Amino acid sequence: MNTSRACAIVMLGCAAVLVRDDRGADGAGPGTFRSALLAREPAGQLTPEAVREALVGAGREGLALGFELLDDPEAPVRAGAASYLGGRRSRLAVPHLIKLLRDPDPTARRAAAQALGAIGDPQALPFLERAMGEGEPLVAEAAVGAAREIRSAGTARPKPKSPFR
């Protein structure tokens, strides 16, 4: 990892700590977190990976911020939040990620599909199947992969035996 990248990660982690302090004071968490991200990254160069790393650095606050950032005006922020929630395997995120499958930005749609695959909730299958027919090849490919993950996880897991037999 190069020095500037390491410094960026440390700085975003520090921003996450500040967000935790701000949330307790005035509830401005997502705005402060977003401002710190945008101040650190040059205009138009904010990446989903940077957002995800910052959410990881936010600790316990990251989960709540992740949900709130799914509605951010910047597509990389939405994509990073989706990626983070998928990595956390938060089943609570499934309805929000399904909604994100209809996002105007293909990066956010792709991240939503990948996150749904990581979470593995079969409820997402009909929505992923719809996304498979999408005109954007990377989104369709992500939806195919996510559906495959969900289906294979469903067949790989043995069904629990009933204690009442």
Is residue 128 within 8 A of residue 94, CB to CB? The reply is: no
Residue 125, classified by CB atoms within 10 Å of its CB into exposed (0-12), middle (13-18) or buried (19+), is middle
Residue-wise pLDDT tens digits, 42-79: 656 789 999 999 999 888 889 999 999 999 999 999 99
Most confident stretch, 34-43, 60-69, 141-150 = 141-150
Which range has the top average pLDDT, 25-39, 52-66, 99-113?
99-113
Closest C-alpha among 75, 142, 95, 40 to residue 85: 95
pLDDT > 80? residue 119: yes
Burial class (CB in 10 A: 0-12, 13-18, 19+), 73: exposed
**For 3-156, CATH number?**
1.25.10.10
The distance between the two most distant Cα atoms of the chain, rounded to a whole number of Å, is 63
Three-state DSSP state, 10? helix
Stated pTM of the model:
0.73
* Percent residues over pLDDT 90 in the chain: 58
Residue spans of the domains in the chain: they are 3-156
Q: Is 85 helix (H, G, I), strand (E, B) or coil?
A: helix
Asked whether the predicted pLDDT for residue 17 surpasses 90, the reply is: no
